[in-house]
Structure 1
Amino acid sequence: MASRTVQYATPSRDDYNRLTDDQKTRVGEAFDLFDSNKDGLLSYEEFRFVLRALGFELPKATTYDLLVRHAIKPTNWPHDQDCPPVYRLFNLATLQAIAGTLIRQRDPREELRRAFRLFDVDGKGMITQEDLRRVSKQVGNNIPDADIVAMVEEFDASGKGGVDEDEFLRLMLSKK
């Protein structure tokens, strides 16, 4: 019985190379954080955690497909034996390539909607002065109250007491 040699395809790093330095740093930090045994490789579960940390909630079928196509067998695996997907691992270069592609495919509006929800934790449909105070304290950037009031008043086009999602999107997209 002849053994099968499985060739794993390394995905293109073109998209990763086009990311900003900040985006590349976030990918690297997520890899380091979830590489629990610090061997420079991620198990399938660690890989899924990294993707979640980067803001991707991919269906299991999609991540499993990435595992089958791009993960490599461990170095201690017998070279003449096929390695079942469950034992395969992701190295940093492969994660960078996959994350780069996913990040570049993101819809900027959906990213901004996700950011909006980080401020609007109560789901009231607007970012209020209280939301800005809370986030300001959480990030340790205590913005003076007068500045918070001025920000909301400036961008609250309809005078409802907060910045709604459409106003937030217009504001953030005009900055690009």
Structure 2
Amino acid sequence: MATPQFPSRPFTGLGRASTVGQQQQQQQAPPHANTYQPPSYGGPSNTYGAGAGAGAGQRDAMARQERERIDRERREAEERAGALDALSEEQREEINEAVNNHIDYHELKVALKALGFDLPKSDILSLLQTHGIPASATSSTHPPASATAKPTFSGPSRLVLPHASFVSIAASRILARDPRDEILRAFELFDAEGKGNINLQDLRRVARELGEGLQEEELVAMIEEFDLDGDGAISRDEFV
């Protein structure tokens, strides 16, 4: 018995085409990109680094200020020693009589004026700012003034000038003064009325104020010694 022959199935290529298409789609399809971006946080190391840098800068500034303070105090001590050596004994006594302790703004102004230096307010404040210390630093509960950093100026009532600093300031100004000005200042002490000459009455008054027991003949002799024009008084030019 013969086996029946079935007609062969025509080739459509669908299966292969489907497979090939799927492969092509897989090849052409771009891979899914990972679009997630982790949030960016400021790293703690940056913050700490900035803080450490600022702290180091402050420490450097404080150290620099301390070095400047030490250098300034050393220079002041050297200048004070040199100035005191150049002063006469009378000038030293005059300075020491003006002040004997820490002085504030008003006392500094009066003391300098007594020495012949009538400074304006701005100059007095500048001296306190440069050489002064806080008034609170003079109490026994605070460290010595030399160990205290120079303050930031906040008003004349908050700063005082140590005696040593005043001596240095006064000595330098006295040495820088013209000797003629020093003589004229002495003349004005005798000529209190500003009349332009020194007469016998002026000498009597000054001798009495100083407690000098000078005789009348001695006072007359002083006038006659310097009275070049014979008018019975010592003029400014004759005194100089």
Aligning the two structures, in what range does the TM-score lie when normalised by the shorter sequence?
A: 0.7 to 0.9
CA distance in 1, matches of 2:132, 2:171: 16
**Larger relative contact order, structure 1 or 2 (CA cutoff 8 Å, min sep 6):** 1
**Kindly tell me: are residues 62 and 134 of structure 1, through their superposed partners in 2, closer, same or farther at Cα, counting changes over 3 Å?**
same
Is structure 2 residue 77 aligned with structure 1 residue 24? Answer: no
**Kindly tell me: are residues 97 and 166 of structure 1, through their superposed partners in 2, closer, same or farther at Cα, counting changes over 3 Å?**
same
Q: What residue in structure 2 maps to residue 168 of structure 1?
A: 239
CA distance in 1, matches of 2:150, 2:87: 37
Q: 1:80: how far off?
A: 9.0
Amino acid at match of 2:115: L
Is structure 2 residue 153 aligned with structure 1 residue 84? Answer: yes
Q: 1:157: how far off?
A: 0.7
Q: Is the 8 A contact 1:125 1:165 kept in 2?
A: yes
Q: Find the residue that maps to 2:99 and give its secondary structure.
A: helix
**Kindly tell me: are residues 58 and 29 of structure 1, through their superposed partners in 2, closer, same or farther at Cα, counting changes over 3 Å?**
same
RMSD between aligned residues = 2.7
Number of aligned residue pairs: 161
Larger Rg: 2
Which runs of no fewer than 5 residues in structure 1 stay unpaired?
A: 36-40, 170-176
* Residue correspondence of structure 1 range 74-153 to structure 2 within 5 A: 74-75=136-137, 76=142, 83-86=152-155, 87-153=158-224
**Kindly tell me: are residues 155 and 62 of structure 1, through their superposed partners in 2, closer, same or farther at Cα, counting changes over 3 Å?**
same
CA distance in 1, matches of 2:89, 2:222: 29
Q: What residue in structure 2 maps to residue 15 of structure 1?
A: 83
**Kindly tell me: are residues 60 and 128 of structure 1, through their superposed partners in 2, closer, same or farther at Cα, counting changes over 3 Å?**
same
Q: Is the 8 A contact 1:42 1:89 kept in 2?
A: yes
Which runs of no fewer than 5 residues in structure 2 stay unpaired?
A: 1-53
Q: What residue in structure 2 maps to residue 65 of structure 1?
A: 126
Q: 1:82: how far off?
A: 5.0
CA distance in 2, matches of 1:128, 1:144: 15
Amino acid at match of 2:189: L
**Kindly tell me: are residues 99 and 85 of structure 1, through their superposed partners in 2, closer, same or farther at Cα, counting changes over 3 Å?**
farther
Percent identical across equivalent pairs? 35
Q: 1:145: how far off?
A: 1.7
Q: 1:107: how far off?
A: 1.5
CA distance in 1, matches of 2:117, 2:150: 33
Q: Find the residue that maps to 1:42 and give its secondary structure.
A: coil
Q: What residue in structure 2 maps to residue 173 of structure 1?
A: none
CA offsets 1:84-132 (integer angstroms, 9 cap, x no match): 3422222122111111101111112112112112212232221112221
Amino acid at match of 2:166: L
**Kindly tell me: are residues 47 and 108 of structure 1, through their superposed partners in 2, closer, same or farther at Cα, counting changes over 3 Å?**
same
Q: Is the 8 A contact 2:132 2:150 kept in 1?
A: no
CA distance in 2, matches of 1:166, 1:84: 45
